[in-house]
Amino acid sequence: MRTMTYSKSRAKYAETLNSVVDDREEVVITRAGHDPVVIVALDDCQSLKETAYLLKSPENSRRLLASIGRLESDGGVERAIRVAACRYHYGT
């Protein structure tokens, strides 16, 4: 994760935003006398929020982690994702 001052981020604002989106790298902006903030791509932010939501319930978290364990030990079945259905469902 890259860190830069508020002044430097302002001077290179478009370049910084492009870097966040293109490289999928968050940028921490520090400001004198204020808490730092993070610039993150919207897709990444939404993904993090969705993951936090799914892991919020202890039972759901256990089930998801068990499923991941099965997949990693070759216990899963690969299936095609219907992109059109996902876009309709998630509004993208």
Q: What is the pLDDT of residues 1-56, one digit of tens each?
A: 899 999 999 999 999 999 999 999 999 999 999 999 999 999 999 999 999 999 99
The domain spans of the chain are 2-41, 43-90
CA end-to-end span of the chain: 27
pTM over 0.75: no
Confidence of residue 92 (pLDDT cuts 50, 70, 90): low
d(CA 5, CA 59): 42
d(CA 86, CA 92): 8
2-41: CATH number: 3.40.1620.10
Q: Which of 23, 24, 27 is nearest to 13 (CA)?
A: 27
- Predicted confidence at residue 20, as pLDDT, reads 96
d(CA 22, CA 43): 12
